[in-house]
Amino acid sequence: MKRITGYLCLLAAVSLTATANTDTLAGELKELRSEKRRIADAANELGALARTSHINSWETHAIALEQMKELINRSGARIARLQNLAGGSAQALELREQLAAVAKHVTELKQQINENRLAIRMPAYYWEAMKLVQAAEQSQAAVERVMNAALSRGAAKQAAD
């Protein structure tokens, strides 16, 4: 009888842990989605700055890029936590790759400004900023796909239970 009770307690503990991990995973995904929206918004603002570079300074661009860098770093840490929770899933890897693409464009733009403060008025800067906007939108779409897949798996699991 003690052995059966022990097994039941173990099963209950495993079930609670799985539920806690699922809740934590869902919370992390929601936060990541929010951060990706902020990155996409910041990229769109930078795109607007690039289109109107004749009326703003390089400092404005540098500040916007630094803010994007901070958002990217926070998102990267969150993706690492998601990978740990999800056991290194392929979806987390896709999110990491998308974020790396955004970071690459931010780094390129920062480098252009550091090399030449008038770079914000050059076509190469503008086109790199537009690539950044596109990469940020793709990254946000990837999070939405992962989030929707996780929600549908959760709904299917609840229906099965």
Return d(Cα 101, Cα 145) in angstroms, integer: 17
26-61 per-position pLDDT tens digit = 788 888 888 999 999 999 999 999 998 878 899 999
84-99 per-position pLDDT tens digit = 876 657 777 888 899 9
Helical pair 123-160 and 2-51, crossing angle rounded to 10 deg: 160
Return d(Cα 121, Cα 158) in angstroms, integer: 55
Q: What pTM, to 2 d.p., does this model score?
A: 0.77
pLDDT of residue 159: 62
The CA distances from residue 135 to 39, 47, 132, 138, 140, in Å, are: 10, 12, 5, 5, 9
- The residue ranges of every structural domain in the chain are 27-145
Q: Which tokens sit at 34? A: 């929010």
End-to-end CA distance of the chain: 27
Count Cβ atoms within 10 A of the Cβ of residue 146 and give its class: 0-12 exposed, 13-18 middle, 19 or more buried.
buried
1.20.120.660, 1.20.1250.40, 3.40.50.1260, 1.10.1740.10: CATH of 27-145: 1.20.120.660
